[in-house]
């Protein structure tokens, strides 16, 4: 739909999220991912406000080759008591040399009088002058009416005047902003419909998520007639974030039948969401709609039984439409169908092996009683399944013994751990010692040294995450401990599990299984 804008503001509004700091190179990478998704506009930042954003627009002119999206520069209306032509911030927007400029303008009378410390009339002149000046220089101008909905509730007529001022000066779109994120869908629908009827302006929507309704509010605005929607990838943004643009896009395209992007681009949504997470160094949210790792994950045995008959019985869309996939989670809630489907998912067909199916299910339930949880450790379950059915996990080594010592010499000295591992691999007995900044780190070093003699491929495997859960906290330091270890080969990662009263013992189990799984996954034979 050429008359509908999907406008991304990840690199400006999303970057205001706590813990996100984007370099110029990061922003160039994100812009390319957004272009792959097929959004119509990518907001690059605020040129002139900080050196990073100014450099981004300078480099974008030669380094960005956007095929679908149009790059937009963001800034504010001129300052009170000046002219647009003399305002350096307005000039910086022109210097960015983007064809589209988005202006933030006050539309809440309280902000005009108390934050800008100017008059209502001067604020309207600031909007009109800045839009007209940018239009005279050939720019397409969009206006973000900041705090619009709160301003509308306080003084409807003045909020309308701000929209009209932008429209009359030549703004292509006026995006109504729920800046404080406090609105509910009914309020948004009513206000957007009212503004549309009163002004006839082309309207957009920009929602924050403070009530948890940013996506719903965006949908309500579109229902009321908005033809421009703003958001951020993965819902990044200040406080509780902005509307998740992928969720909004998927809702509009898959649920409302709006032809916004080519289907193959939406099928890349999961990859793009996770790729942007890598750039921002902000962990993906597993329960994120559509693209989260758990978005199509099923744990209950009742669900699995139905899915075995027809996946649509417990899924609202085909996961591949957004590049995701169905996952079966194995837990103490698991039934026969769950184990069978999970086996099929990892390439082990149990449909014709009733004894094996019962044996695996009994083993899972036994281990879950002891504190294991395979819904968080898919690799751990795959090893269990393959060991129970045909023993297809290579026997890379036989462990003779391992031990760890932690030594502190002097009250101000740091603790140093030393681990020794003895095992038989490749027809030889191997003894290796490793040091580390903790017992698990020392064990990891010793295990790698021991196995590395026979399996040099182990150098490609890296421990990337380590999580500990105390299962029966009432027992204090005597409690049973669950350890989850995530290992990576540089391309993908997997999680293994260990459970024991001794945290080091639990760690050893998860650590060893993580390496065994990695070698097996790579097709390395036992030597």
Q: How far is CA 521 from the centre of its chain?
A: 26
CB-based contacts of 242, cutoff 8 Å, min separation 6: 9, 13, 14, 206, 207, 208, 209, 214, 230, 231, 232, 235, 236
Looking at residue 382, what is its pLDDT?
Answer: 81
Give the SS3 label for residue 521: helix
Q: Provide the 10 A C-beta neighbour count for residue 58.
A: 15
- Global pTM reads 0.70
Q: Tell me the per-residue pLDDT of 219-234, one tens digit each, with 9 for 90 and over.
A: 999 999 999 999 999 9
What does the domain layout of the chain look like in residue ranges? Answer: 5-261, 297-371, 398-521
- Those residues of the chain that have pLDDT short of 50 are 1, 301-302, 304, 332-333
For the record, the structure tokens of 400 come out as 């003779």
Please check whether the two domains, 5-261 and 398-521, share a CATH topology.
no
Looking at residue 1, what is its pLDDT?
Answer: 46
- Which numeric CATH code is attached to 398-521? 3.30.160.270
CATH fourth-level superfamily of 5-261: Aldolase class I (3.20.20.70)
418-431 burial, b at 16+ Cβ within 10 Å, e below that, comes to bbbbebebeeeebe
Q: Tell me the per-residue pLDDT of 174-223, one tens digit each, with 9 for 90 and over.
A: 999 999 999 999 999 999 999 999 999 999 999 999 999 999 999 999 99
- Which of 164, 214, 212 lies closest to 188 in space, CA to CA? 214
| Residues linked to residue 496 through DSSP beta bridges, in sequence order | 485
| Residues linked to residue 500 through DSSP beta bridges, in sequence order | 481
């Amino acid at each position: 739909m050429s008359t509908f804008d999907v406008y991304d503001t990840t690199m400006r509004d999303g970057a205001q999220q706590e813990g996100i700091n984007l370099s110029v190179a990061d922003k160039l990478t994100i812009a390319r991912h957004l272009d792959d998704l097929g959004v119509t506009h990518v907001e690059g930042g605020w040129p002139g406000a900080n050196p990073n954003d100014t450099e981004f627009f300078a480099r974008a002119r030669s380094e960005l080759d956007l095929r679908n999206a149009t790059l937009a520069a963001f800034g504010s209306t001129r300052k009170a008591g000046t002219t647009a032509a003399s305002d350096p911030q307005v000039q910086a927007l022109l210097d960015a040399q983007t064809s589209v400029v988005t202006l933030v303008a006050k539309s809440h009378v309280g902000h005009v009088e108390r934050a800008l410390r100017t008059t209502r009339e001067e604020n309207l002149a600031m909007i009109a002058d800045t839009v007209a000046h940018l239009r005279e220089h050939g720019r397409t101008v969009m206006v973000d009416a900041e705090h619009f909905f709160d301003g509308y509730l306080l003084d409807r007529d003045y909020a309308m005047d701000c929209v009209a001022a932008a429209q009359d000066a030549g703004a292509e779109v006026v995006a109504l902003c729920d800046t404080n994120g406090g609105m509910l869908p009914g309020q948004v629908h009513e206000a957007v419909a009212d503004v549309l009827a009163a002004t006839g302006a082309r309207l957009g929507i920009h929602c924050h998520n403070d009530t948890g309704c940013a996506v719903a509010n965006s949908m309500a605005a579109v229902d009321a007639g908005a033809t421009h929607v703003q958001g951020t990838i993965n819902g990044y943004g200040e406080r509780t974030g902005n509307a998740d643009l992928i969720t909004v896009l998927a809702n509009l395209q898959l649920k409302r039948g709006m032809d916004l992007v080519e289907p193959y681009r939406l099928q890349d949504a999961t990859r793009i969401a996770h790729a942007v997470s890598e750039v921002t160094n902000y962990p993906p949210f597993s329960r994120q709609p559509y693209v989260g790792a758990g978005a199509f994950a099923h744990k209950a045995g009742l669900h699995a039984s139905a899915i075995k008959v027809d996946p649509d019985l417990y899924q609202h869309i085909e996961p591949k439409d957004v590049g995701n996939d169905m996952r079966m989670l194995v837990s103490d809630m698991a039934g026969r169908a769950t184990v069978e489907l999970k086996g099929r998912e990892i390439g082990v067909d149990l449909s014709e092996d009733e004894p094996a199916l019962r044996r695996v299910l009994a083993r899972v339930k036994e281990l879950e009683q002891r504190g294991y949880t395979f819904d968080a450790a898919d690799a751990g379950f795959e090893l269990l399944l393959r060991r129970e059915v045909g023993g297809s996990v290579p026997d890379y080594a036989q462990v003779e013994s391992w031990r760890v010592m932690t030594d502190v010499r002097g009250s101000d000295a740091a603790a140093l751990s030393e681990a020794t591992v003895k095992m038989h691999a490749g027809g030889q007995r191997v003894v290796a010692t490793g040091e580390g900044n903790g017992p698990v780190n020392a064990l990891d070093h010793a295990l790698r040294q021991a196995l590395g003699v026979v399996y040099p491929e182990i150098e490609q495997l890296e421990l990337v995450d380590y999580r500990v859960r105390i299962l029966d906290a009432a027992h204090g330091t005597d409690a049973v401990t669950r350890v989850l270890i995530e290992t990576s080969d540089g391309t993908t990662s997997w999680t293994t599990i260990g459970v024991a009263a001794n945290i080091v013992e639990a760690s050893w189990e998860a650590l060893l299984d993580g390496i065994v799984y990695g070698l097996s996954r790579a097709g390395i034979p036992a030597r």
